[in-house]
């Protein structure tokens, strides 16, 4: 890999002048380390466990200003990263390094709808909650995305974007039809299936290593008119009971006739299990699934009938995982693994995993492990259709641990590492599937796990589009070694 972090952390007077010139002299659009409110209003630390200290945070208002900022950074040999509100182990949406120049896209909140094609134009600074409202008000339209309403579009749409309708419509990045991108050489280009198709491929899963997306054109769908939100809670006394319940859930998830309208999360907590999700259909259709039959023994249940799209997306925003994925700043650590039909946990591994979750020292009382059903329309695409390669994953395991009092303890790192290691010992293929929306900054070989068999193509493209590695981040696509 050609990745090498910028070591410059303090902006010189000349660079500061260059950045100001790029935004027409507006000092409110450039914040550097010695500014009074730099750490309060500009940096916005997200995961406090992995803090980043940018050399400058900039707030452009036009694509031309973005291009000028990138040109300035490259001229003075600073690394650049866009911040558009995706998930990140540094500042929220910032995957850069100490000393990088951050291009914050919060001002890019443009929106319009083509009423003939139903293709929407979306700015990367829009939040997912805003997008829901704008699309719905523009003809009852919708698109796939995650359930954290405060995340902004730029980062989210370009790493994947798993959400409630992904089994029906694909991920967020599968909705992208065209983008405007500022490249490392400061040129502003369009990319679609017919123009700069290679660049569009890279944007769909690895955009942070190639440029700054300043505009999306996305296909939309008619918003569902009805849905059932369900939640079943299980107070199970033993690890063996929890393991049996998970095996039943995995069997349900693997049914080839399982409706794509059905979504499900299996959430493991310290002393309970919650199975929850949404079914996009009628109560009669939901009852025909016989969830209580497949997952018997719940202590409490909640089944709500929802009859409008905005009500559906509002009702699911109600748990810690959503708040953690939004704007809540805290100390946490997270990991992920993807399971395919070829790498499913056999009964012995399931038993070992739930015994481990029951007995292992955690170092914190706030932890959870979530198994999220995907598949469906996501699996309809070949692995090389987009930079995102995990088209055969049936469900994701994402484990989180939080310490509200200070940095994550070594025992907590060991606990989460142990989860993945236990599974990977029995199922080595799982280690090749990690979701960039749940990045693990401590993971060795992360690039291969994030981009799989597409990594080689992405590295070759990096050598063409960004040979001096302007858009660098710790686990980004690197420039090929000559």
Q: Going from the N-terminus, what domains does the chain have, and what CATH number goes with each?
A: 111-223 (3.30.465.10), 227-450 (3.40.462.20)
Q: Which pLDDT score, from 0 to 100, does residue 327 have?
A: 55
Taking CB atoms within 8 Å and a gap of at least 24, the contacts of 145-149 are 145/172, 146/172, 146/325, 146/437, 147/313, 147/316, 147/317, 147/322, 147/325, 148/317, 148/322, 148/325, 148/326, 149/313, 149/317, 149/326
Chain-centroid distance of CA 200 in Å reads 18
Q: Which pLDDT score, from 0 to 100, does residue 386 have?
A: 98
Are the beta carbons of 426 and 456 closer than 8 angstroms?
Answer: no
Provide mean pLDDT across the span 367-383: 97
Q: Which of 35-39, 321-325, 383-387 comes out lowest in average pLDDT?
A: 321-325
Here the tokens at position 387 are 């930079």
Q: How confident is the model at residue 473 (pLDDT cuts 50, 70, 90)?
A: confident
Provide mean pLDDT across the span 311-332: 66
Task: Give the H/E segment covering residue 356.
Answer: helix 347-359
Provide mean pLDDT across the span 442-453: 94
Report H helices in 7-84.
13-22, 63-75
Q: Residue 248 pLDDT > 50, yes or no?
A: yes
Alpha carbon distance 211, 185 (integer Å): 9
Q: Residue 96 pLDDT > 60, yes or no?
A: no
Q: Which pLDDT score, from 0 to 100, does residue 47 have?
A: 76
Q: How confident is the model at residue 330 (pLDDT cuts 50, 70, 90)?
A: confident
Q: Residue 462 pLDDT > 90, yes or no?
A: yes
Q: pTM (2 decimals)?
A: 0.93
Alpha carbon distance 374, 395 (integer Å): 5
Alpha carbon distance 315, 308 (integer Å): 11
Q: Characterize the bridge pairing of strands 221-222 and 331-340.
A: unpaired
Q: How confident is the model at residue 12 (pLDDT cuts 50, 70, 90)?
A: confident
Q: How confident is the model at residue 302 (pLDDT cuts 50, 70, 90)?
A: very high
Taking each helix axis as running N to C, give the angle between helix 13-22 and helix 63-75, from 0 to 180 degrees, rounded to the nearest 10. Answer: 160
Provide mean pLDDT across the span 354-360: 97
Here the tokens at position 467 are 């040979």
| Residue 222: strand pairing partners | 141
Alpha carbon distance 227, 221 (integer Å): 16
Provide mean pLDDT across the span 114-128: 97
8: nearest Cα among 88, 104, 73, 87: 73
Q: Residue 86 pLDDT > 60, yes or no?
A: no
Q: Residue 5 pLDDT > 70, yes or no?
A: no
Provide mean pLDDT across the span 81-107: 70
Provide mean pLDDT across the span 61-76: 97
Provide mean pLDDT across the span 31-48: 73
The burial of 307, by beta-carbon neighbours within 10 Å (0-12 exposed, 13-18 middle, 19 or more buried), is given as exposed
Q: How confident is the model at residue 378 (pLDDT cuts 50, 70, 90)?
A: very high
User: What's the mean pLDDT when you consider all of the chain?
Assistant: 90
Q: Which pLDDT score, from 0 to 100, does residue 52 have?
A: 78
**How many Cβ atoms are within 10 Å of 278's Cβ, its own excluded?**
25
Q: Please indicate whether residue 311 or residue 195 has the higher confidence score (pLDDT).
A: 195
Q: Which pLDDT score, from 0 to 100, does residue 312 have?
A: 84
Q: What are phi and psi of 361, to 5 degrees?
A: -75, 125
Q: Which pLDDT score, from 0 to 100, does residue 7 have?
A: 44
Provide mean pLDDT across the span 125-133: 95
Q: Which pLDDT score, from 0 to 100, does residue 313 have?
A: 84
pLDDT, tens only, 134-180: 999 999 999 999 888 888 999 999 999 999 999 999 999 999 999 99
Q: How confident is the model at residue 94 (pLDDT cuts 50, 70, 90)?
A: very low
Taking each helix axis as running N to C, give the angle between helix 455-465 and helix 197-206, from 0 to 180 degrees, rounded to the nearest 10. Answer: 120
Q: Please indicate whether residue 317 or residue 131 has the higher confidence score (pLDDT).
A: 131
Q: Residue 367 pLDDT > 90, yes or no?
A: yes
Q: Which pLDDT score, from 0 to 100, does residue 91 have?
A: 36
Q: Residue 58 pLDDT > 60, yes or no?
A: yes
Q: Residue 318 pLDDT > 70, yes or no?
A: no
| Residue 336: strand pairing partners | 398
Q: Please indicate whether residue 442 or residue 50 has the higher confidence score (pLDDT).
A: 442
Are the beta carbons of 217 and 119 closer than 8 angstroms?
Answer: yes
Q: Which pLDDT score, from 0 to 100, does residue 443 have?
A: 92
pLDDT, tens only, 189-229: 999 999 999 999 999 999 999 999 999 999 999 999 999 99
pLDDT, tens only, 267-301: 999 889 999 999 999 999 999 999 999 999 999 99
């Amino acid at each position: 890999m050609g990745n090498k972090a910028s070591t410059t952390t303090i902006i010189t007077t000349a660079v500061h002048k260059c950045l100001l010139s790029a935004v027409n002299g507006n000092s409110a659009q450039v914040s550097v380390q010695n500014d009074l409110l730099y750490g309060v209003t500009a940096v916005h630390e997200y995961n406090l466990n992995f803090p980043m200290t940018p050399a400058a945070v900039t707030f452009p208002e036009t694509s031309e200003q973005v291009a000028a900022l990138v040109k300035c950074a490259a001229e003075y040999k600073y690394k650049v990263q866009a911040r558009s509100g995706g998930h990140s182990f540094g500042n929220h949406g910032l995957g850069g390094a100490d000393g990088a120049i951050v291009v914050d896209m919060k001002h890019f909140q443009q929106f319009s709808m083509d009423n003939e094609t139903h293709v929407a134009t979306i700015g990367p600074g829009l939040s997912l909650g805003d997008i829901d409202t704008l699309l719905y008000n523009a003809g009852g339209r919708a698109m796939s995305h995650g359930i954290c309403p405060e995340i902004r579009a730029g980062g989210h749409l370009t790493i994947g974007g798993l959400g409630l309708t992904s089994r029906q419509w694909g991920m967020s990045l599968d909705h992208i039809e065209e983008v405007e991108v500022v490249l490392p050489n400061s040129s502003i280009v369009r990319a679609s299936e017919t123009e700069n198709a290679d660049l569009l491929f890279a944007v769909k899963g690895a955009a942070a290593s190639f440029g700054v997306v300043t505009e999306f054109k996305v296909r939309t769908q008619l918003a569902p008119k009805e849905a059932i939100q369900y939640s079943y809670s299980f107070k199970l006394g033993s690890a063996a009971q929890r393991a049996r319940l998970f095996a039943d859930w995995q069997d349900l998830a693997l049914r080839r006739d399982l409706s794509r309208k059905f979504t499900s999360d299996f959430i493991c907590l310290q002393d309970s299990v919650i199975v929850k999700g949404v079914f996009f259909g009628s109560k009669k259709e939901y009852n025909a699934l016989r969830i209580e039959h497949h997952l018997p023994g719940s202590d409490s249940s909640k089944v709500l009938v929802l009859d409008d799209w905005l009500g559906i997306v509002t009702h699911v925003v109600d748990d810690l995982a959503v708040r953690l994925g939004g704007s809540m700043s805290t100390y946490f650590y997270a990991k992920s693994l993807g399971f395919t039909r070829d790498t499913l946990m056999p009964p012995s591994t399931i038993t070992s995993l739930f015994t481990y979750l029951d007995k292992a020292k955690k170092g914190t009382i706030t932890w959870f492990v979530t198994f999220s059903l995907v598949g469906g329309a996501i699996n309809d695409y070949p692995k090389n259709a987009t930079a995102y390669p995990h088209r055969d994953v049936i469900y994701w395991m994402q484990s989180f641990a939080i310490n509200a009092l200070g940095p994550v303890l070594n025992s907590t790192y060991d606990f989460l590492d142990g989860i993945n290691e236990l599974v990977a010992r029995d199922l080595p293929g799982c280690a090749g599937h990690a979701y960039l929306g749940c990045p693990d900054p401590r993971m060795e070989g992360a690039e291969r796990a994030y981009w799989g068999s597409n990594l080689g193509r992405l590295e070759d493209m990096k050598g063409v589009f960004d040979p001096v590695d302007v858009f660098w981040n710790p686990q980004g696509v690197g420039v090929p070694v000559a």
